């Protein structure tokens, strides 16, 4: 890694961050001066590989149910230090366990969210469902967690911390942990396959050993099938709760195909919340029946954002599911345990130790960057003041999932000045902005010429956990995914077009 920051500052504490301060990895797996004719031929092949292996989405701009487009992707795998990759993979079962135990702790969730639910209607409605099913008695004690913890590398300087006594001078910081609709179980592995093919075409077979194995799809589907077996009715189906329009269709369908491959007895049905409300019912013994099919497992790929609940009808569907005997990924308590507010509270001193061992707490806390409550108390006041003074150092997050909701830069100042003295600010949390090292890569987008651009990456580590309050039956790693985006954009959703599929190239 070389630095072209004139001040040789520690970027995580630098106020000149942004365009004025760039640390760059010069670690592309192949030189980035591929001659134009070779590049164009390679891109042509790579596009077809993507199209023919389901690295695709439906177009948002020209939606056509019968047509797929390849998803934007990066031509080469992105460098990621092996030490950091192995560290975050090792952490995942601990993260799974933490989320599982937090989700069983009603009092803690209530303490974390009591102010949030006063000012945030969406979280409040989720909370009401939780209270309702708790008061009625939880029908299904077994939880199915299909979790994804997202991290970015943070640039460090030599000797800045325990880990940075030797290169690489980077560490991993958690962006968030997802407990609902943790997608890309197919897109992650297929991106690795695409890159293996590309490196082969470039005659670089010797690099293939640096692309880690990725069993995300197998492991996540195995988790659903395990849950289906626990339910114990061989005729019951798996229900995918889907959006009204699914753009990320390949990712979802490949889960279905993989379930069929692993166990042909398991059938999958797909319904949106509106359909579930109209066509679903509970039997007296709480079995969930949709169109005469009994449901063993519910896998939410929707239901994480307010727009997916048009009216009370969709909320009724969520409650219906939650009341049922089906195993759910996630249960309402797992959903609540994955909120940004809970993530912020987990980073407070002494909290992790309540759920995992001291040694595990020490390891996990290395993943956390600064997270600050904006509650109406003196520490909250301090956080507001510091964000108004240095907005470029932070990200302001409401309790939302799915991308595009966070607030950055000057807008942080505007929003915080508006809500500074009201409880409205308690709907948000504040987080240190992570400044990952910048890499260069060729971006390939539909209908655009290939382009070499500056990028940053976000690694997602999947985990599967199945258990009751008292007993964990399954807790394991479940592969990974890498998304990369232009270094200049705040958020890089792949479907939104600012980001692209990528895979990991392990470096020393
Ligand atoms: P969502 O639930 O909407 O995915 P995230 O917390 O994952 O919310 O934020 C969305 C995106 O915003 C991330 O994928 C990342 O690109 C960017 N982001 C979030 N938090 C940070 C942070 N602390 N530093 C830098 N970028 C961030
Ligand atoms: Mg995210």
Tell me the pLDDT of the chain (508 aa) as tens digits: 334 444 444 444 343 344 434 444 557 899 999 999 999 999 999 999 999 999 999 998 888 999 999 999 999 999 999 999 999 999 999 999 999 999 999 999 999 999 999 999 999 999 999 999 999 999 999 999 999 999 999 987 777 777 777 777 889 999 999 999 999 999 999 999 999 999 999 999 999 999 999 999 999 999 999 999 999 999 999 999 999 999 999 999 999 999 999 999 999 999 999 999 999 999 999 999 999 999 999 999 999 999 999 999 999 999 999 999 999 999 999 999 999 999 999 999 999 999 999 999 999 999 999 999 999 999 999 999 999 999 999 999 999 999 999 999 999 999 999 999 999 999 999 999 999 999 999 999 999 999 999 999 999 999 999 999 999 999 999 999 999 999 999 988 887 778 999 999 999 8
CA 135 centroid distance within chain: 31
Distance, CA of 209 to CA of 189 (rounded, Å): 15
Measured from the CA of 491, which atom of ligand 1 is nearest? Answer: 16
Closest CA to 481 of 161, 186, 132: 186
Distance 36 CA to ligand 1 centre (A): 35
In terms of Cα–Cα distance, which of 430, 427, 438, 399 is closest to 412?
A: 430
What pLDDT sits at residue 25? Answer: 52
The number of the ligand nearest the C-alpha atom of 485 reads 1
Q: What is the residue with the minimal CA distance to atom 9 of ligand 1?
A: 403
Distance from C-alpha of 239 to C-alpha of 272, rounded to nearest angstrom: 10
* Count of residues in the chain: 508
Residue 465 CB-density burial (10 A; 0-12 exposed, 13-18 middle, 19+ buried): buried
**Secondary structure (DSSP) of 104-132:** T-HHHHHHHHTTHHHH-HHHHHHHHHHHH
Q: What pLDDT score does 497 carry?
A: 74
Please tell me the distance from the alpha carbon of residue 335 to that of residue 304, in angstroms, as a whole number.
8
Distances (CA, A) of 167 to 158, 174, 209: 7, 20, 21
Query: How far, in Å, is the centroid of ligand 2 from the Cα of 263?
Result: 31
Determine the distance separating the centroid of ligand 2 and the alpha carbon of 148, expressed in angstroms.
9
Centre of ligand 1 to C-alpha 238, Å, is 30
Per-residue model confidence (pLDDT) at position 289:
98
- Ligand closest to Cα of 408 equals 1
Which domains are delineated in the chain?
11-369+434-507 (no CATH), 372-433 (3.30.1490.50)
Question: In the numeric block, which tokens belong to residue 197?
Answer: 């093919």
Bridge pairing between strands 472-486 and 451-467:
antiparallel
* Rounded Cα gap, residues 357 and 348, in angstroms: 16
Please give the number of the atom of ligand 1 that sits closest to the Cα of 485: 16
> Which residues, listed in sequence order, are joined to residue 502 by a DSSP beta bridge?
482
Q: Are strands 237-242 and 268-272 parallel, antiparallel or unpaired?
A: parallel
Structure tokens at 151: 């991290």
Closest CA to 146 of 39, 221, 56: 221
How many A from CA of 58 to the centre of ligand 2?
Answer: 21
Cis ω for the linkage preceding 330 (within 30 of 0) = yes
The per-residue pLDDT for 62 is: 85
Rounded Cα distance between 210 and 504, Å, is 8
Q: What is the pLDDT of residue 387?
A: 98
Candidate from 175, 178, 403, 428 with most ligand 1 atoms within 8 A of CB, to mutate: 175
User: Which pLDDT score is estimated for 498?
Assistant: 83
* Nearest-CA residue for atom 20 of ligand 1: 175
Distance CA 96, CA 51 (A): 34
The strands making up 371-373's β-sheet, listed across from edge to edge, are: 371-373, 428-432, 394-398, 407-408
pLDDT of residue 22: 45
As a whole number of angstroms, the distance between CA 67 and CA 62 comes to 10
d(CA 84, CA 169): 10
In this prediction, residue 26 carries a pLDDT of 56
């Amino acid at each position: 890694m070389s630095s072209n920051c004139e001040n040789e500052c520690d970027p995580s504490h630098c106020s000149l961050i942004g365009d004025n301060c760039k640390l760059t990895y010069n670690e592309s797996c192949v030189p980035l001066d591929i001659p134009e004719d070779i590049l164009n031929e390679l891109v042509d092949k790579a596009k077809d590989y993507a199209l023919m292996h389901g690295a695709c989405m439906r177009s948002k701009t020209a939606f056509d149910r019968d047509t797929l487009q390849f998803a934007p992707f990066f031509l080469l795998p992105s460098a990621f230090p092996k030490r950091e990759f192995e560290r975050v993979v090792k952490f995942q079962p601990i993260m799974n366990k933490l989320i599982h135990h937090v989700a069983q702790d009603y009092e803690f969730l209530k303490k974390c969210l009591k102010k949030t639910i006063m000012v945030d209607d969406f979280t409040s409605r989720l909370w009401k469902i939780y209270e309702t099913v708790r008061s009625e008695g939880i029908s299904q004690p077994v939880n199915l967690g299909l979790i994804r913890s997202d991290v970015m590398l943070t640039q460090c300087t030599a000797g800045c911390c325990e880990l940075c006594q030797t290169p690489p001078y980077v560490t991993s910081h958690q962006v968030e942990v997802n407990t609902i609709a943790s997608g890309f179980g197919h897109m992650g592995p297929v991106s690795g396959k695409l890159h293996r093919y590309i490196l082969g075409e470039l005659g670089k077979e010797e690099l293939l050993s640096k692309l880690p194995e990725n069993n995300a799809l197998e492991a996540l589907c195995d988790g659903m099938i395990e849950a289906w077996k626990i339910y114990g009715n061989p005729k019951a189906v798996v229900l995918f709760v889907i959006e009204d329009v699914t753009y990320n269709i390949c990712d979802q369908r490949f889960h279905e195909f993989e379930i069929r491959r692993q166990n042909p007895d398991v059938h999958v049905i797909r319904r949106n919340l509106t359909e579930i409300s109209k066509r679903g019912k509970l039997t007296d013994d709480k079995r969930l029946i949709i169109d005469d099919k009994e449901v063993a497992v519910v896998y939410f790929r929707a239901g994480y954002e307010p727009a997916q609940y048009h009216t009370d009808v969709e909320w009724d569907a969520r409650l219906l599911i939650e009341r049922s005997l089906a195993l759910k990924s996630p249960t309402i308590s797992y959903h609540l345990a994955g909120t940004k507010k809970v993530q912020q509270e987990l980073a407070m001193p002494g909290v992790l130790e309540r759920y995992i061992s001291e040694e595990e707490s020490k390891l996990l806390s290395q993943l956390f960057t600064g997270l600050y409550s904006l509650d109406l108390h003196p520490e909250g006041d301090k956080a507001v003041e510091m964000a108004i003074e240095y907005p470029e150092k932070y990200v302001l997050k409401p309790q939302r999932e799915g991308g595009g909701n966070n607030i950055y830069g000057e807008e942080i100042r505007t929003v915080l000045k508006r809500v500074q003295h009201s409880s409205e600010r308690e709907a948000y949390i504040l987080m240190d902005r992570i400044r990952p090292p910048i890499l260069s890569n060729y971006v390939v987008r539909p209908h655009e010429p290939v382009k070499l651009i500056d990028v940053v990456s976000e690694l997602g580590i999947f985990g599967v956990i199945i258990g009751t309050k008292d007993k964990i039956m399954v807790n394991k790693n479940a592969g990974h995914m890498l998304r990369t985006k232009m270094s200049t954009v705040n958020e890089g959703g792949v479907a939104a077009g600012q980001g692209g599929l990528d895979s990991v190239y392990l470096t020393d």
